[in-house]
Structure 1
């Protein structure tokens, strides 16, 4: 079975890995000309996340390249510390830069998976027996299935699931590479948080060109005009950053994530930007989708089983970090800091950590080892 995957970040290569393992023939198409380096740290927590990585044989390499886990320190504009969250709460069980994770997954699949960079899907026609696909650059091709693993702004979702757009949650986030010299510190003013390599701020929904990076950097600079601490220095670093990323904090909630011979996986189908568990969710859902395709005789039954397992799990992993990281008033910042300090030293912290772990482990993973290979 020939399966086209749109997106080569995390969910796409993960799905390609398992599809090849189960005997399918995946092709991955990616709009970017190459893998994107850098990016923010992402983490994994709980048995569900780690067991899939272990089954893929990549967990040891991820641990080898993991970031140094640090406590998160919350300061005001003068640099005075108001709250500290231990690394055990903020960084999961293993943390790695997104770009490094993407490279590990690509290296684990590139020898026997076709990757097409610098191209993207422009049209899909599902005639019931297959999907005819057109591309911006390449020649048209036909596939048995098409899977959108292309993130919050999924092109596949826009083409095949009309009317579904991410829900804007009132905040924007910008990320970029920055020196480690500032530590894992966050400076908060009402509706804004500044941190090395990260700006997050409250805003009305903005109208801007997603391809105009210079204009996006200017939006961020205006939002942080006049803010103290090391913010001016970080803005200068941001202006020169080549791996700058800017996006609204949004959430995708759909009543279906498959349609005919087309499906969605990861953020494309149930994402929550900067929600804390999106990467682990992408890894787990890719395993489940490939496994269900291997375990069933047809894609209809496989898609139904995939939705039944993943949609409830995904719903428990979607959050909005904006109000916690950048409360909109000084009173709310004060309350947030008091809560964070209580979480660090009282049983309350253990309770929140257990709730977080419960969400990450909110799925019983099937064992697809005996699933027959398909052609």
Structure 2
């Protein structure tokens, strides 16, 4: 079977790894000119840790761990008011996203054809396969096409319809960037909550820089850097603590990224010979902290079902059946998170309860899946 995958972040390379391991041929097309750098740290928990172990990358990921400690929750004057246990935001293992994407690329580059700097322009299905036309390269025909190309998926738009039909805005936006570690943080961070706005500052392994994260109510922000940074400044201009200094640093910062928080909900993750995985199919938003795990588990299950079922239609159906409840639980938790933070004072008891829930045996992270690793 010859499979075209759109997207070279997490879900795409993970899917390529498992498809190749099950004897299939894969091609990944990626709009960016190379493996994308930067991104927020990502964390893993529960069943995802087992899957990473089966992929043989867990030890290498541990070597790149951020080693984040607990965050200190501070008031507007910088006074400590609580401690956010690392289980809430760093899971069992946290790594910079750039390290994860590089590791997945290195794992697959020798047995997957990567086409960087290009994207799919059209998809045409028939009984024998899917013909894909690209912006730059020659067209090709594939048995299946998988969209692993994120919240703003091109494959979803081509095969299913406009993005607005499937995205549910959450009424919040977030911006993130890196800046020099003028706070002299080591293996820790700060978190400040100002009503319905939040800011976090964390050191990410390299003590020379910190990563700044702003979250605030917003919708319809223009998709250009000036408008996005203006929206952040407007939302936080009267917030205390270190926020004025962070806003002043923002224009000169590296790795600036901004998006509005949205979830993707779809009645089906496939249509004919085209399917979606990761954020393209079931974006949960950064409020859950589960997006990367969903991508990795989705790739694992999708490849496993394609290798064990008699038809791709049955495989697509079983893939959805295995993950629907897990995704729905994560999306519900993410929708509740903003209100939970701003509804009442963020006491230590509340923070400890959140940490305990994230590592309990009944956590959604301990999802039961078939074992496809020994096929």
Q: TM-score, normalised by structure 1?
A: 0.89
Q: How far does residue 145 in structure 1 lie from its aligned partner after superposition? A: 0.6
Q: How far does residue 152 in structure 1 lie from its aligned partner after superposition? A: 1.0
CA distance in 2, matches of 1:137, 1:148: 18
CA distance in 2, matches of 1:299, 1:238: 47
1:294 and 2:307 aligned: yes
Give the aligned partner of residue 38 of structure 2: 38
- The counterpart of 1:201, out of the listed 207, 216, 241, is 216
Segments of 5+ residues of structure 1 without an aligned counterpart are: 371-375
Give the aligned partner of residue 170 of structure 1: 171
CA distance in 2, matches of 1:356, 1:136: 47
What are the equivalent positions in structure 2 for 1:209-248 lying under 5 Å apart?
209=223, 212-248=224-260
Helix, strand or coil at the partner of 1:358:
coil
CA shift in 2, pair 1:8/1:18, >3 Å: same
Write the deviation string for residues 139-181 of structure 1: whole angstroms up to 9, x where unpaired. Answer: 2221111101011111111111125331001110111223453
CA shift in 2, pair 1:272/1:57, >3 Å: same
CA shift in 2, pair 1:206/1:256, >3 Å: same
Give the aligned partner of residue 373 of structure 1: none
1:277 and 2:282 aligned: no
CA distance in 2, matches of 1:352, 1:206: 34
CA contact (8 A) 2:85 2:355 kept: no
Give the aligned partner of residue 266 of structure 2: 254
What are the equivalent positions in structure 2 for 1:29-108 lying under 5 Å apart?
29-46=29-46, 48-108=47-107
CA shift in 2, pair 1:198/1:324, >3 Å: farther
Q: TM-score, normalised by structure 2?
A: 0.89
Helix, strand or coil at the partner of 1:133:
strand
- The counterpart of 1:342, out of the listed 344, 349, 352, is 349
CA distance in 1, matches of 2:245, 2:374: 52
CA contact (8 A) 1:316 1:362 kept: no
CA contact (8 A) 2:27 2:114 kept: yes
Helix, strand or coil at the partner of 2:19:
helix
Which stretch of the first structure deviates more once superposed, 216-225 or 307-316? Answer: 216-225
CA distance in 1, matches of 2:159, 2:369: 30
Give the aligned CA root-mean-square deviation in angstroms: 1.9
CA contact (8 A) 1:343 1:352 kept: no
Helix, strand or coil at the partner of 2:38:
coil
CA distance in 2, matches of 1:111, 1:79: 50
Segments of 5+ residues of structure 2 without an aligned counterpart are: 202-211
Tell me which protein shows more strand as a share of its residues: 2
